[in-house]
């Protein structure tokens, strides 16, 4: 397993286990399976409704808590300083742990313009030692710039949609410039359409891997953290099996050439649901 060092010194695996759309009752067996395969980064969120399932898995696993990186996120309806602190307390209770490793703002919801004060609540949680690192999800460059201008603590990550058809090169460059690591959600593209791309199929044959493993390894080799989701045991295992090869620079360039700037999920500017 490859690790990256966040800008505050915390080490984090480059591959994590995503829990978007995983029902709570399926969460603990899926997380336990993932931990058994070797995953140590678990990515949940308030809006996923499965923090309690993560908590049950934490109670059942034999892996020490300090070896796991548990992520959760504050939802749009909880934006605001006091509201965020209250939401965090609720998440902590559901997770059944006394700290969170990575706490993120799920969306900036710019129409409501509360993400700066929400982030300041994250800063308090970090200063109080209740979270080991803080960051954001789905922030555009302009939203990140406001945090850089108006807040004290640099986000450690920006978790955004990223896959070979939506490569976010400008965002990658901005994040690298400011020592923020990009985390990729939907790395296989919702619906998996990218996995039928002829180039990924060609590279899969070349490296003796699957198109999904090629897409995930591309994320790792480009310096991102990647969090694929699956509850299927064979897929959980397959997604983890990407650390015994590297893509050549030539093949990385070839994948760069299939970028379509095709966003599948909501644009941050337009996502204002509360």
Spatial separation of the C-alpha atoms in residues 109 and 120, rounded to whole Å: 16
8 within a domain of the structure (yes/no): yes
What CATH number did the domain enclosing 77 receive? 3.20.20.100
For residue 57, give every residue at least 6 positions away whose Cβ sits within 8 Å of its Cβ, in sequence order, or none.
27, 28, 31, 32, 35, 42
Bridge partners, residue 182, by sequence: 158
Query: How far apart, in whole angstroms, are the C-alpha atoms of residue 124 and residue 143?
Result: 20
- Residue 43 resides in a domain: yes
pLDDT at 130: 98
214 inside domain: yes
**Res. 193 pLDDT band, cuts 50 70 90:** confident
Residue 198 pLDDT = 96
**For residue 3, is pLDDT > 90?**
yes
| Any domain includes 17 | yes
pLDDT at 172: 97
Mean pLDDT of the chain: 96
- pLDDT, tens digit (0-9, with 9 covering 90-100), for 47-91: 999 999 999 999 999 999 999 999 999 999 999 999 999 999 999
Residue 266 lies in a domain: no
Query: Is pLDDT at 251 greater than 80 in this prediction?
Result: yes
Query: 135: helix, coil or strand?
Result: strand
Is 151 within the bounds of a domain?
yes
Instruction: Say yes or no to pLDDT of 191 above 80.
Output: no
pLDDT at 138: 98
To the question of pTM greater than 0.85 for the whole model, the response is yes
Query: CA 189 to CA 170: how far, in whole Å?
Result: 19
The residues pairing with 163 across neighbouring beta strands, listed in sequence order, are 166
Annotated catalytic residues are 48
In a domain, 268, yes or no: no
- pLDDT tens string 103-139: 999 999 999 999 999 999 999 999 999 999 999 999 9
For residues 269, 271, 273, 274, the Cα torsion angle rounded to the nearest 10 degrees is -70
Contact 223, 181 (CB under 8 A): yes
Residue 148's pLDDT is what? 97
Number of separate domains in the chain: 1
**pLDDT value at 190 more than 80:** no
Q: What is the pLDDT of residues 196-237, one digit of tens each?
A: 999 999 999 999 999 999 999 999 999 999 999 988 999 999
**Three-state secondary structure call for residue 259:** coil
Q: What is the pLDDT of residues 158-182, one digit of tens each?
A: 999 999 999 999 999 999 999 999 9
Q: Which domain holds residue 218?
A: 3-256
269 lies in a domain?
no
3-state SS, residue 141 = helix
């Amino acid at each position: 397993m490859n690790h990256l060092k966040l800008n505050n010194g915390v080490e984090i695996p480059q591959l994590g286990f995503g829990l978007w759309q995983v029902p709570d009752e399926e969460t603990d067996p899926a997380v336990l399976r993932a931990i058994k395969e070797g995953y140590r980064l678990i990515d949940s969120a308030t809006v996923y409704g499965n923090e309690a399932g993560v908590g049950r898995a934490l109670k059942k696993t034999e892996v020490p808590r300090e070896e796991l990186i548990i992520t959760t996120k504050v939802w749009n309806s909880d934006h605001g300083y006091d509201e965020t602190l209250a939401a965090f307390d609720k998440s902590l209770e559901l997770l059944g742990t006394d700290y969170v490793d990575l706490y993120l703002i799920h969306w900036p919801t710019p129409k409501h313009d509360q993400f700066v004060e929400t982030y300041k609540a994250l800063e308090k949680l970090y200063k109080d030692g209740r979270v080991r690192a803080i960051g954001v999800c789905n922030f555009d460059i302009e939203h990140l710039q406001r945090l850089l201008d108006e807040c004290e603590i640099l986000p450690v990550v920006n978790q955004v949609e990223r896959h070979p058809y939506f490569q976010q090169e400008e965002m990658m460059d901005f994040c690298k410039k400011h020592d923020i690591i990009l985390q990729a959600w939907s790395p296989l593209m919702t619906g998996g359409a990218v996995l039928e791309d002829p180039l990924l199929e060609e590279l899969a044959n070349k490296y003796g891997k699957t198109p999904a493993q090629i897409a995930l390894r591309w994320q790792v080799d480009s310096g991102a953290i990647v969090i694929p989701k699956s509850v299927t045991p064979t897929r959980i295992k397959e997604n983890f099996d990407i650390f015994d090869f590297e893509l050549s620079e030539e093949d990385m360039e070839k994948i760069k050439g299939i970028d379509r700037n095709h966003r599948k999920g909501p644009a941050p500017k337009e996502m204002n649901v509360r």
